[in-house]
């Protein structure tokens, strides 16, 4: 569920009373159930909303759509390129810095698209899941659904998203 990255402050000194993975999974399932009972649909691995009230800002990230970030440390994706503004607020305010193109990842990269779009309840379209079809046989069927030309995770699949996406990408067919 929650991954504590070793190089982060939280990873270096995690809370002593942090819930274990089993309790976290139970709480996640409870959240899914209670949200559903109160009219909130799960549209993303960690987001629920009533119809028409999904966070359009975050959906742009998950769908690999363009967005503009403004301010120090802001990131943008525009014209097929990613940009980042340096973090130094003083340099930003004095206009001494310009956005820098980020080249460490490539927009539209297959793995990135699968990782981002599988976070969504709508899943991925057929052109993205075709190379993954044989790998799907390695997963329990209750973790995913194939419908309307899309591969999507189920409520049971979302909690093990990292496992599923890692397995699918490791066993995909090259196109």
Q: What is the pLDDT of residue 88?
A: 86
Q: What is the pLDDT of residue 108?
A: 56
116 and 164 together in one domain: yes
- In whole angstroms, what is the distance from residue 87 CA to residue 141 CA? 44
Chain-centre distance of CA 166, in angstroms?
13
119 and 80 together in one domain: no
> Is 11 among the domain residues?
no
- In whole angstroms, what is the distance from residue 61 CA to residue 80 CA? 13
Two tokens at 7?
């190089």
> How many beta carbons lie within 10 A of that of residue 113, not counting itself?
18
Q: Are 88 and 97 in contact (CB under 8 A)?
A: yes
52 and 114 together in one domain: yes
> Is 136 among the domain residues?
yes
48 and 71 together in one domain: no
Two tokens at 105?
């990842």
44 and 115 together in one domain: yes
Main-chain dihedrals φ then ψ at residue 132, nearest 5 degrees: -100, -5
Two tokens at 131?
């190379």
Q: What is the pLDDT of residue 107?
A: 47
- Reported in sequence order, the residue ranges of the chain that DSSP labels E, i.e. its strands, are 41-44, 47-49, 75-78, 81-84, 100-102, 124-125, 144-147, 150-153
28 and 95 together in one domain: no
Count how many domains the chain has: 2
What pTM, to 2 d.p., does this model score? 0.82
Query: 169 burial class (0-12, 13-18, 19+ CB within 10 angstroms)?
Result: middle
Q: What is the pLDDT of residue 36?
A: 97
pLDDT of the chain along its 175 residues, tens only?
Answer: 667 888 898 889 888 898 888 999 999 999 999 999 999 999 999 999 999 999 999 999 999 899 999 888 899 999 888 888 888 888 788 876 677 777 655 545 899 899 999 999 999 999 999 999 999 999 999 999 999 999 999 999 999 999 999 999 999 987 6
80 and 163 together in one domain: no
Q: What is the pLDDT of residue 35?
A: 98
Structural domain span for residue 35: 16-58+108-170
- In whole angstroms, what is the distance from residue 162 CA to residue 158 CA? 9
> Is 44 among the domain residues?
yes
Buried b (16+ CB within 10 A) or exposed e, 76-95: bbeeeebbebeeeeeebeee
- In whole angstroms, what is the distance from residue 75 CA to residue 64 CA? 13
């Amino acid at each position: 569920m929650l991954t504590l990255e070793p190089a982060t402050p939280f990873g270096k000194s995690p809370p002593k009373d942090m819930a274990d993975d089993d309790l976290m999974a139970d709480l996640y399932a409870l959240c899914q159930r209670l949200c559903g009972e109160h009219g909130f649909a799960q549209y993303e691995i960690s987001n629920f909303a009533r119809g028409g009230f999904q966070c359009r800002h975050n959906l742009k990230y998950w769908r690999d759509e363009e967005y503009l970030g403004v301010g120090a440390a802001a990131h943008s994706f525009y014209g097929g390129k990613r940009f980042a503004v340096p973090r130094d607020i003083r340099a930003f305010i004095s206009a001494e810095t310009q956005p820098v193109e980020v080249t460490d990842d490539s927009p539209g990269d297959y793995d990135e698209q699968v990782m981002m779009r599988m976070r969504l309840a709508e899943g991925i379209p057929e052109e993205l899941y075709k190379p993954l079809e044989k790998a799907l046989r390695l997963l329990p069927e209750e973790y995913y659904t194939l419908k309307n030309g899309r591969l999507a995770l189920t409520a049971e699949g979302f909690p093990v998203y990292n496992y599923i996406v890692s397995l699918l990408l490791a066993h995909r067919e090259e196109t």
